[in-house]
Amino acid sequence: MDLTLPELNHNCFSTLDHSSDNSGNSVSINHSFALIDCKNPQNEQLHGAISVRSWINSANNDYLEENLGDLRKCLMQKILEFNCHSTSHIPTPAITKLYESLICLYFKTPKLWSHPLRWIIEVLIHADSLYASTFNPSISDEEIQHCLTNSAFSKQIKGNILHLLSLISEEFTTAQLTHSVKCIIKEGIHSDEILVRNILKQFINDVNHEEIRSLAIHTSAIWMSNFVLNNCHSSSADSYLDIVHIIYNSMQYSEDLYLTGINALINIFESDGVGLNSDRDKGFLLDFHVSELTKFKCTLQHLVELHSVNLQNGVQWNECKGYEALNKTVLLLSILSEKQMDYLIHRLSNSCDNTNNQYIHELFGMFLLTFSLTGHYPYDEDISDVALQIWLNIYEASISTTAYTVSNVHDEDAIKRIHTEFLQRAFIKFHYPKDLNQYYTVWNQEDRDLWLKFRQELSNCFLSVFRYLNLHDWFLQATNQLQSTICNCTNEELLANWQESEALLFILSSISEHVIYKNESQIIPLLNFAYIISNIILNYIHKLEQYITYSMNYDVLIHCQKQSLPPPPPPPSQQQQHHHQQQQHPPPPQIFILCKTVLLCIENYYSIIVTMVTLSEINLIKFILNSLLLSTYITTNENYQNDLIELCHISLCVIQIILKSKLSSSNMLVDMVTNTLEYYLYHTKLIDQTSYNLISYCIGMLLYISEKQNKQITINSLQNILYSRLETFRLLCTTTNTQDLSDLPQNVISICSQFTCKQNEINKKSHFITILLGSVIQMFDGFISVEQPIDNGIIVNHHIITILSKLLCYLKQSLTEVAFSQLPEYFIQYHKLLQVGLPIFTCSLNNPMDDIMISMVIESIHCIFYTFHYILEKYNKLDETILKPIQYFIEWLFNDQSNMNEHSSFINLASSLLSNILDKINILLINQTIIVDDKLFGKYIGYTKEERINHPLSPILMSFIGQSITEEIEISSRFISQLINFKSQETKGNQQRKSIFNLLNDDAHMSLKLFLSLAFSGISVPEWSTVESCIQLACHLLTILTYENNIDPLMILDDKLLFEINICILLILTKGVPPPEKLLIKYAELYCCLANLFPCKQFIFLSFITGNIQSISQEYQLKLTQIPHSNILIELITDCLCYTSLTERAQFVIMVTRPSLSLNKVTRSISTFIRLLSLQRHGNC
């Protein structure tokens, strides 16, 4: 059917009223319409259409309503003109913009449109309707219906109509419309609802034009997502459900329609009216979708099989036929499982064998198919992560109290059968690829990382299913099968089919948390299960032992496993020979993976393994140490490196577990571990920082154990390692060149060359100091970890004190003598060093071995003090990296001073440090108050010089300076707050816990006044974190003033300060953006503290400030008016409170000044007052 276009009026826009304010714009819009001409280039046409859309969007609504008729005609005329010169069913970009302009015009003038969609569709079908005298329908519904069903009807017009419906749905979603306008637009759209439904049905069933069917399916999904809502009439929803049924049926006809249908269903599933979010009869809707969707189970099965064939033929996953269809189908199933799994599980567990229940079983069969793809995620396929999410959704619904209500054992078995099937499929996905060479060389690092992450998520799911669904049968059966395999197969057979055994070992490791936890309650079935697993681990170790031995240099193994300690390491030239010997029998790559997994099992089941009768302690230890040596294997394939590093890490972690167990009493164990670690350190070319820290931790443990066993030879060997590192540390710290290693001896360079370092690392020395310092801290951690807590008789020998003292001394030299331009990165670890070192000093002073040790400790404490003192002076910065270790040091000195009466000078060190910091805080605040302008909201307050330098400083004045030094204020306030909350431990001679104020001997309370200045300097800054820390400090200080008997609060908080505090808080609460809820609670705490300290004063001051003076005596009013700057401050606050009544202010004052009132009530009162103020302010605007 061809359309005949009447004669076009190219000048139709000239009929618009140019007498209005838009006359200038009319010229512009005429120019834009002139560009929209078929004779012009396409870019000019598009530019003109965009300009028209922009003009309508910005035009005055009254003007648009006045000229609506001409505008509609002109836009439709241009659309018809373009359609006459085009045959495509997909509108050009220019036509699309014209439709958008028409929709925008409708959205801006919705009350003037009657049946808007019908009018546009009618004009598209019958162009003469454009020139009808009215905008009422000029052709009958029957004629429109006839045109739509006519097979000869223009494919182009069908495409235009569908495009229009899609655009109006999308524009309605994105347009910035008020609620009332949206309701009017919806009403107009719903007036044409029957017509739209008929169009969609007819076009989806258009067997002559598959492109129109596909576009109609897409349009239907968008339309229903936006305009078919929960509150729509049931008959209307049922009619749209017919459309969904037609969409399901159309998906059977071609691959393109199937994919289009799946995409449409994804949108529909997310919608309200006929989707899974509907509030209507969920059971009916879900049964409908399930019955329709399960018709495509065979399609999904075919897609899964097609993927397998493509994979066998070497076709890449993203190049596979059906790739997108399979992805989208699984995504659709995932959405279904996420939204309605509780109901589906309920249906599954329903024992009634009805038709709907059969569909449910078919659906769960489709869920299982998603986990049945051949190959490995993500290299061979990328949907298993979505399939895993489906399984998790099923699992969560299975254990929920509402869904997992089954009537009998048979019903419960239905759920367990599904999970058992998932377990089996997930177990297959758990296997490593058979071709490890491809895994290491063809897969990129991102794919390997995704695979390992996916594997870990799978293992977590195995644990959850094992713990909460009690699916012990599958795990027990798989474990028994593995045990039989290990016992009956040869070593070669085990290695050839290693993927299955490794996967199961990894799964058994992941469920150990539950198995071991339950064993604490002596649950016999799980205890037996744990013994079976432990026995498998020991048997597996025996099988792997020969491969490890074959893969490594035999001399190295004997050298490391003999009891006597080895001679000094060979020179570097001979070390190369050792590496060469190691590479004579390169191990198969699966050995690395198997050893790593077995070590994980040992780590997790160690408490059971050590109780096994069949345990050979020496074989277990050999395997662990040999695995560590295996990680030193030098490979040309860099992709192996991550597995080797992980093997090293887990080996060292298991060694630590053994050293903490009863096996540590074995003399042979200590020697073997020491030999192996020494060999590793001297013969490994590169050591990552984590490995180095783990080794250092082990060395610390060995030192303590050797000291208890009096193994002097072992101690000497470990000390050689430590002192060589300590000498390297000394040279790195004390040489003046901070950039490279050129001025260091060769042996130091050799040690540093073992550490991994970024290629672009600028300050290499600082980086190596960081590594060595971290490793020594780990050594101390290991030393004190063997017997916790440290205070209970830990042995501290001279060597430990010597190392710690020298370390502190070298750090002091580095920080005070080497010219670093800024605080070096390794200082971040100084706090951790003190946390492990100072408790060791406490032990030494409480149980001194001799005077030499005490002298070393005292010297080290002074060394720490001078280090801090120098850093504070040199960097002159209140930095958290500096203040946190100082805080810990001061608290340690205060805490232990009663235990060290003979070392009372330590308290002087702490007081000196604290005074230094307080001086810096004082200088920081005073320097800012002197230079700051005190103009507030355009009015000068007029603070004098004395007011700017005497503490406590004015909170109003501090509100000016706080914004320029927020970081320093926040750090300082947090530091002071933690210090004043610190209480010294009780002692036998003195049961009173002393605060920092007792120890400062500050009779004039100058420090307390300084703290108040700091606290109120940050309560009104725009940084909420600073405000929070300052209010916290203020509350602590006010609490001290309330309950500390020897401090007169009136000497600290005079009337002027209290007056300004209340002004400052009110300015914050009534000006600008209201604080978040978290900070409102903090301000409520501040009000509560003030009310508890000065209940009467608070009420009088706040009443005076808010204008409620009738309850205040004339004498007191006069006294308040004499407070400096009170008049101008009252003016400022009155401007802020002008929108509230006196009654509302009085109610607020009563609530926030009442002592002992609950924090919740005060918070609600503040929130109500702010909201009231905001509403009335906006109401008057």
DSSP code string of 535-559: HHHHHHHHHHHHHHHHHS-HHHHHH
Least confident span in 385-399, 463-477, 751-765 = 751-765
Residues written for the chain = 1181
Cβ contact 630:672 at 8 Å: no
In angstroms, rounded to a whole number, what is the distance separating the alpha carbons of residues 75 and 95?
Answer: 10
- Are 440 and 500 in the same domain? no
- Are 406 and 523 in the same domain? no
SS3 assignment, position 687? strand
Residue 622 maps to a domain: yes
In angstroms, rounded to a whole number, what is the distance separating the alpha carbons of residues 963 and 512?
Answer: 54
pLDDT tens digits, one per residue of 752-768 = 888 877 666 567 778 88
- How many helices (H) and strands (E) are present in the chain, helices listed first? 55, 2
Stretch 1072-1078: mean pLDDT, rounded? 77
In angstroms, rounded to a whole number, what is the distance separating the alpha carbons of residues 639 and 641?
Answer: 5
What was the pLDDT predicted at 377?
Answer: 93
In angstroms, rounded to a whole number, what is the distance separating the alpha carbons of residues 999 and 911?
Answer: 8
| Residues of the chain by 3-state class (helix, strand, coil), percent to 5 | 75, 0, 25
Q: Is the pLDDT of residue 352 over 60?
A: no
Query: Which residues make beta-bridge pairs with 687?
Result: 755
Q: What is the dihedral of CA 164, 170, 171, 175, to 10 degrees?
A: 170
Residue 866 maps to a domain: no
SS3 assignment, position 847? coil
Cβ contact 238:281 at 8 Å: no
For residue 903, how many C-alpha atoms fall within 13 Å in the half-sphere facing its CB? 22
DSSP labels for 474-500? HHHHHHHHHHHHHHHS-HHHHHHTHHH
Q: Is the pLDDT of residue 939 over 80?
A: no
Place of tokens 């034009």: 209
What was the pLDDT predicted at 572?
Answer: 41
Residue 343 maps to a domain: yes
Cβ contact 1035:1089 at 8 Å: yes
In angstroms, rounded to a whole number, what is the distance separating the alpha carbons of residues 679 and 717?
Answer: 11
In angstroms, rounded to a whole number, what is the distance separating the alpha carbons of residues 770 and 689?
Answer: 10
Would you call the peptide bond into 952 cis, given omega within 30 degrees of 0 as the criterion?
yes
**Token pair of 107, please?**
């959205």
What was the pLDDT predicted at 18?
Answer: 46
Q: What is the dihedral of CA 547, 551, 554, 555, to 10 degrees?
A: -150
Place of tokens 């393109």: 256
Which of 1069, 1034, 1045 lies closest to 952 in space, CA to CA? 1034
In angstroms, rounded to a whole number, what is the distance separating the alpha carbons of residues 1064 and 1105?
Answer: 11
Place of tokens 């279904």: 336
Largest Cα–Cα distance in the chain?
115
Q: What are residue 894's phi and psi, to 5 degrees?
A: -65, -40
Least confident span in 273-282, 788-797, 1104-1113 = 788-797
- Residue 1114: CB partners within 8 Å, gap ≥ 6? none
- Are 809 and 691 in the same domain? yes
Residue 74 maps to a domain: yes
If phi over 0 gives left and psi between -120 and 50 gives alpha, with beta otherwise, what is residue 1118? alpha
Least confident span in 804-813, 815-824, 969-978 = 815-824
- 759, burial (CB in 10 Å: exposed 0-12, middle 13-18, buried 19+): exposed
In angstroms, rounded to a whole number, what is the distance separating the alpha carbons of residues 315 and 686?
Answer: 40
* Local confidence band at 152 (pLDDT 50, 70, 90 cut-offs): low
Q: Which of 138, 164, 194 is the last residue of a domain?
A: 138
* Local confidence band at 460 (pLDDT 50, 70, 90 cut-offs): very high
Query: Which residues make beta-bridge pairs with 755?
Result: 687
Q: Record the pTM.
A: 0.78
Residue 366 maps to a domain: yes
Residue 169 maps to a domain: no
- Are 725 and 821 in the same domain? yes
Least confident span in 331-335, 642-646, 875-879, 1079-1083 = 875-879
**Which of the pair, 431 or 49, is modelled with greater confidence?**
431
SS3 assignment, position 939? strand
**Token pair of 274, please?**
């006929």
- Are 691 and 799 in the same domain? yes
List the domain range (segments joined by +) for residue 1091: 1085-1181
- Are 819 and 889 in the same domain? no
What was the pLDDT predicted at 281?
Answer: 63
Q: What are residue 89's phi and psi, to 5 degrees?
A: -80, -5
Q: Which of 92, 113, 138 is the last residue of a domain?
A: 138
Cβ contact 667:705 at 8 Å: no
Please give the DSSP secondary-structure letter assigned to residue 6: P
Contacts for 983-990: CB closer than 8 Å, 24+ residues apart: 984/894, 984/895, 984/897, 984/898, 985/895, 985/898, 987/898, 987/899, 989/898, 990/898
**Token pair of 1049, please?**
């609060």
- Are 889 and 979 in the same domain? yes
- Are 815 and 904 in the same domain? no
Q: Is the pLDDT of residue 745 over 60?
A: yes
- 989, burial (CB in 10 Å: exposed 0-12, middle 13-18, buried 19+): exposed
The 10 Å Cβ neighbour count of residue 150 is 10
- Are 434 and 478 in the same domain? no
Query: What Rg value do the Cα atoms of the chain yield, rounded?
Result: 40
- Residue 1106: CB partners within 8 Å, gap ≥ 6? 1066, 1133, 1137, 1142, 1145, 1146, 1148, 1149
Stretch 769-780: mean pLDDT, rounded? 91
pLDDT tens digits, one per residue of 833-844 = 999 999 888 888
- Residue 1097: CB partners within 8 Å, gap ≥ 6? 1055, 1058
- 92, burial (CB in 10 Å: exposed 0-12, middle 13-18, buried 19+): middle
Q: Which of 122, 138, 154 is the last residue of a domain?
A: 138
Query: Dihedral of CA 665/666/671/674: which sign?
Result: negative
As a whole-number percent, the residues of the chain with pLDDT over 90 amount to: 26
Question: How far apart, in Å, are the Cα atoms of 1147 and each of 94, 663, 1097, 1141?
Answer: 63, 72, 17, 10
What was the pLDDT predicted at 896?
Answer: 61
**Token pair of 755, please?**
């550490």
Contacts for 490-495: CB closer than 8 Å, 24+ residues apart: 491/543, 491/546, 491/547, 494/543, 495/547, 495/588, 495/590
- Are 1041 and 973 in the same domain? yes
- Are 389 and 504 in the same domain? no
- Are 79 and 6 in the same domain? yes
Stretch 647-660: mean pLDDT, rounded? 94
Residue 1150 maps to a domain: yes
Which of 961, 953, 962, 957 lies closest to 1013 in space, CA to CA? 953
* Local confidence band at 385 (pLDDT 50, 70, 90 cut-offs): very high
The 10 Å Cβ neighbour count of residue 637 is 10
In angstroms, rounded to a whole number, what is the distance separating the alpha carbons of residues 412 and 930?
Answer: 78
Q: What are residue 898's phi and psi, to 5 degrees?
A: -70, -25
What was the pLDDT predicted at 522?
Answer: 59
Cβ contact 899:845 at 8 Å: yes
Q: Is the pLDDT of residue 984 over 60?
A: no
* Local confidence band at 13 (pLDDT 50, 70, 90 cut-offs): very low
Mean pLDDT of the chain: 82
**Token pair of 1096, please?**
């009467």
Residue 800 maps to a domain: yes
DSSP labels for 560-623? HHSSSPPPSPPPHHHHHHHHHHHTTSPPPHHHHHHHHHHHHHHHHHHHHHTT-TT--HHHHHHH
Cβ contact 759:786 at 8 Å: no
What was the pLDDT predicted at 570?
Answer: 46
Q: Is the pLDDT of residue 519 over 70?
A: no
Q: Domains in the chain: how many in total?
A: 6
